[in-house]
């Protein structure tokens, strides 16, 4: 699963690949700016999970619930997908 900003980057790369060209000054500025907001989005998602019931999920065998903090939720939900889609 991608975060909204990650999805935006994917779509922009498909529609306007020159916008994300890090070999140009404008492309580097744009990508650096987006990465700054990716960090903000990441923190917001983690904080939201830490403060809500969304941090509780079924355990592996679906026999009970286990607590999951925001950091764990973010890594499981978003980082596993982004590590394979970036680069």
Domain count, the chain: 1
On whether the CB atoms of residues 82 and 2 are closer than 8 A, the answer is: yes
Tokens standing for residue 7:
């999805």
| DSSP letter (8 states) at residue 24 | S
CA distances for 47 relative to 11, 76, 86, 87, angstroms: 26, 15, 24, 27
- Say whether pTM exceeds 0.95: no
> Residue 33's pLDDT is what?
93
List pLDDT tens digits, range 31-81: 999 999 999 999 988 887 777 665 566 566 666 666 677 788 788 878 865
- Can you give the residue range of the structural domain that contains 42? 4-85
């Amino acid at each position: 699963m991608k975060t909204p900003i990650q999805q935006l980057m994917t779509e922009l790369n498909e529609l306007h690949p020159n916008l994300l060209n890090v070999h140009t000054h404008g492309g580097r500025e744009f990508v650096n700016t987006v990465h700054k907001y990716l960090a903000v989005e990441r923190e917001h998602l983690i904080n939201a999970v830490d403060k809500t019931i969304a941090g509780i999920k079924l355990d592996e065998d679906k026999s009970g619930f286990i607590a999951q903090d925001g950091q764990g939720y973010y890594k499981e939900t978003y980082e596993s997908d982004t590590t394979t889609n970036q680069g």
